[in-house]
Amino acid sequence: MGSIRRPRHRRVVHPVPDPGALRLPCGLGAGPRSQSRHPRTGTPRGTHAAWARHGARGVKAEATVSQVVQPAAEGCPRLVPWQSVSRGICPGRTALPCLLAALLGLGGCAAVGPDPVAPQIPVPAAWQTALELPVVEGTAWWQGFKDPRLDALVAQALAANPDLAVASARLAEAAALVRAERSDLYPIVDGLAEGNVFSRSDPGRDLDVVGIGGTLAFTPDLTGRQRRRIEAAIGTLNARVADLADARRLLVAGVVEEYIEFRRTHAQLKLLDRALALQRQTLAIVEARFTAGLAARMDVQRATADAARTSAQRGLLEAARTDARITLAVLLGTHAGELEITPPPQIEGDPPIYGAGPGAGLPAMVVRNRPDLRAAEARLLAAVSGIGVEVADLYPTLRLPGRISASTGSATALTGQLFGVLGAVLDLPLLDAGRRRAEVAAARARADAALALYQRTLLTALNEVENALVAIRAAEDRRRELEGAVAASEQAYEQLAALNREGLATFIDILDAQRVLILSREAYVDSEAGLARAVVALHRATGAPTGSG
């Protein structure tokens, strides 16, 4: 019986090792890595779920890494790490040519690693608190206060705020880094020139050699590593754009809030002057009556205490007004002494009342409008692209170095030569004690963290809008009630004053009515400022546009 000849080489196809069934191109997916289960809980690895109480009802915000990566397209070739090649995919002496041909053939496919896509997280269809505010579209929201001084302050802040300058510089940096990353897709060509002097023992036989030439360095992006780096850089650029818009959002809201506080304290100081003048007038009458023996000393003491208590509030109000002025100066990028609203302007009336402006919109609009949400999304996509950058290190890297040079001898020798070389260097990852796979795992963890941060930012934004809507409704109710309280207190004081002139009311009654009237007016001014601040909080929470700088 004849012997059976065994084939010299046996073709063995190994599965793609972890991480993540790394597929080449044509629409890459997260692979089995994103579908693996936790050994104890049985939940998919890389899954993040966030639950938040959204007012009276619960709103579920859940997303996984698989929601921000794109599945692999059918028919896309699979690229395996070099360790699998060494085990028999391209055996024998043909391994290197086989691998080079495979790498060059796959250069047109998509990059390794997951493709970043925007996360889809459900949001409520409507707000829980229904609120009807006057809406005028197409105007800046702070112009709804109809205060030219406020408009000028906002314009000055947008032009000179240091935080905006920092955000603009970081945006320019990110744009430059995108250009730098894109340049790495192309060969690098450098020129060189060198000169050497060779001295010989024979007199007059020194030889000068001059050479000129150039070098070439090119790394074909076969695995898409550089394309993933470009994606990550673009994601960072988009995040910087959103950061600048977010800085403008917070700046405008801060300027308006500090201006409201300045107006509130100024109005309170004017109200304090009116109250103190009234109390001092009452004190003079009581003292005169006491001198005439028509009033008790206790009446004088109570009137003196009321006037002193009112006067003591001046220091606190002036400190609050000064603090608002200094904070405004910082936001406007100037010194407090250079701010135009000092000394205090002649502002009549109470804190500004909001008229009309952009509407609150629906929750889905907040997701599109909030710059901090857009920044969190861009950083998430950049982190997902970073996975592909680390995955590419698991595969061989091809480098094509080259050099061309021409050298000439001295004027006496008149010799010359042209020399050129073009090579190919294949960098094969063999042993690294698990470093490359650890870096892939770290990149996946960064993407998971970015996803969790996006979820948190979204939930925070939705809750801020709900809180602002509730605050506006509460402030409107309080202002309406205090307006009635002020009117009733004024009537009560006038009636008691008339009764006192007829001898039918005591000065104790007058002092009590006077105290209630002063407190009602102070509370009303505070309610107006509170309503204005609630409106500011709503527009800050909804991400109302502030224009482009």
Q: Which amino acid is at 113?
A: G
Question: Which pLDDT does position 208 carry in this prediction?
Answer: 66
Looking at the 3D structure of the chain, how many domains does it have?
2
**Rounded Cα gap, residues 359 and 363, in angstroms:** 12
When the pLDDT of each residue in the chain is averaged and rounded to a whole number, the result is 77
The reply to whether 108 falls in a domain is yes
pLDDT digits (tens, 9 = 90+) for 398-412: 999 998 888 766 544
Same domain, yes or no: 96 and 172? yes
pLDDT band at 132 (very low <50, low <70, confident <90, very high): low
Q: Is residue 25 part of a domain?
A: no
Do 195 and 270 sit in the same domain of this protein? no
Encode pLDDT of 27-44 as tens digits.
333 333 334 444 444 433
Same-domain check for residues 414 and 522: no
Long-range contacts of 37-46 (CB under 8 A, 24+ apart): 46/444, 46/447, 46/448
- Asked if residue 269 is part of any domain, the answer here is yes
Q: What average pLDDT does this structure show over 35-61?
A: 37
Q: Is residue 264 predicted with pLDDT exceeding 60?
A: yes
Confidence of residue 328 (pLDDT cuts 50, 70, 90): very high
Clarify whether residues 293 and 421 are in a common domain.
Answer: no
Task: Please indicate, yes or no, whether residues 180 and 286 belong to a single structural domain of this protein.
Answer: yes
The answer to the question of residue 18 being in a domain is: no
Residues 192 and 298 both lie in one domain = no
Co-location of 100 and 236 in the same domain? yes
pLDDT of res. 135: 62
> What pLDDT does residue 46 have?
39
Using alpha carbons, select from 180, 46, 175, 33 the residue that is nearest to residue 112.
33
Same domain as 512, residue 383: yes
Q: What is the CATH number for 200?
A: 2.20.200.10
One domain for residues 62 and 200: no
Q: Is residue 475 part of a domain?
A: yes
Distance CA(224)–CA(115), nearest Å, equals 11
Mean pLDDT of 71-79: 38
Q: Alpha helix (H) ranges present in 56-161?
A: 82-84, 95-105, 148-160
Residues 409 and 459 in one domain: no
For residue 421, what is the enclosing H or E element?
strand 416-422
Two structure tokens written together for 459: 């939930």
Per DSSP, the three-state class of 445 is helix
Instruction: Give a yes or no: residue 356 inside a domain.
Output: yes
Q: In this structure, are 450 and 360 located in the same domain?
A: yes
Q: What is the pTM of this model?
A: 0.75
In a domain, 13, yes or no: no
> Which residues contact residue 246 at a Cβ distance below 8 angstroms, ignoring those fewer than 6 apart?
370, 371, 372, 375
The DSSP call for residue 45 is T
Domain region containing 414: 188-218+398-428
pLDDT at 71: 39
Same domain, 282 and 332: yes
Residue 347 belongs to domain with CATH number: 1.20.1600.10
Residue 144 pLDDT grade (very low, low, confident, very high; cuts 50, 70, 90): confident
What average pLDDT does the segment 131-145 reach? 74
Q: Residue-wise over 42-81: b if at least 16 C-beta within 10 A, else e?
A: eeebbbbebeeebbeeebebebbbbbbbbebeeebeebbb
- In a domain? residue 7: no
3-state secondary structure of 207: strand
**Cβ within 8 Å of residue 313, ≥6 positions away:** 268, 272
